[in-house]
Homo-oligomer: A and B are copies of this chain.
Amino acid sequence: MNSQSEEDYLKALYHLQMESIRVNTNSIADYLKMKPSSVTDMLKKLAEKNYVNYQKYKGTSLSKKGKLVALQIIRKHRLWETFLVEKLGFGWGQVHLIAEQLEHIKSEELIEKLDAFLGNPKYDPHGDPIPNEKGRIEKMNQKLLIELKQNQKGIITGVKRGTASLLSYLDKENIKLGDGVKVLEIIEFDGTFIVEINKRKLTFSEKICQNLLLETYD
């Protein structure tokens, strides 16, 4: 069993590895708001447990085993965020800190039951994909509404970062994650989209379309 702290490091490593294969000690320290010397200590410990490939002064990368653990934490984080938004009605900005705590709860069974309860979602409310139990992330087929053409369809999976007000607008319009969208018409003049959602015809400004994330089928 891994400590909360170990889990935080593995998750940080995973996120930072998106940027570059080998991750600097200092960037981990920045990310986790810790001192580089503390990071060095923990990296040695994680290397000991074969979670990372650590080489003095040369940076660190996740091992296969470490990556799996990281993905399982990310899975938990995203499932909990989905729960908080979809079931408890939290708004966006609020969920991260809470999910950061919930992701460390230890119980395989809990997370599988939660997943089922949420209807096995593929994306969290930020539109980030939710890894499966084996740590696999389904290839994303994610697009912005503005990228769609007339008659194309998609399922709302989220909104781009920093657009909390769009979320509350959608909420007010009674539009939820998972709702289907079909592009009926695109007004060339101002980029407005006429779409159908839940059998209702709606008009979305260009700005909305630039921030609304969909999963598409093509």
Contacts and interface: CB of A to CB of B under 8 A. Distances in A.
Interface string A77-105: 00000001001111000100110011001
A98 B113 contact: no
A113 B90 contact: yes
A147 interface: no
A38 interface: no
Classify chain A: how many residues form its interface, as a range: 10 to 19
Interface string A117-141: 1000000000000000000000000
Contact of A94 (B90, B106, B109, B114): B109
A76 B88 CA distance: 15
Contacts of A5: none
Contacts of A110: 84, 88, 98
Contacts of A97: 107
A88 B117 contact: yes
Contacts of A84: 110
A107 B113 contact: no
A203 B90 CA distance: 44
Given A84-B110, A89-B113, 5 more contacts: A88-B110, A90-B113, A97-B107, A102-B102, A102-B105
19 contacts: A84-B110, A87-B117, A88-B110, A88-B113, A88-B114, A88-B117, A89-B113, A90-B109, A90-B113, A94-B109, A97-B107, A98-B105, A98-B107, A98-B110, A101-B105, A101-B106, A101-B107, A102-B102, A102-B105
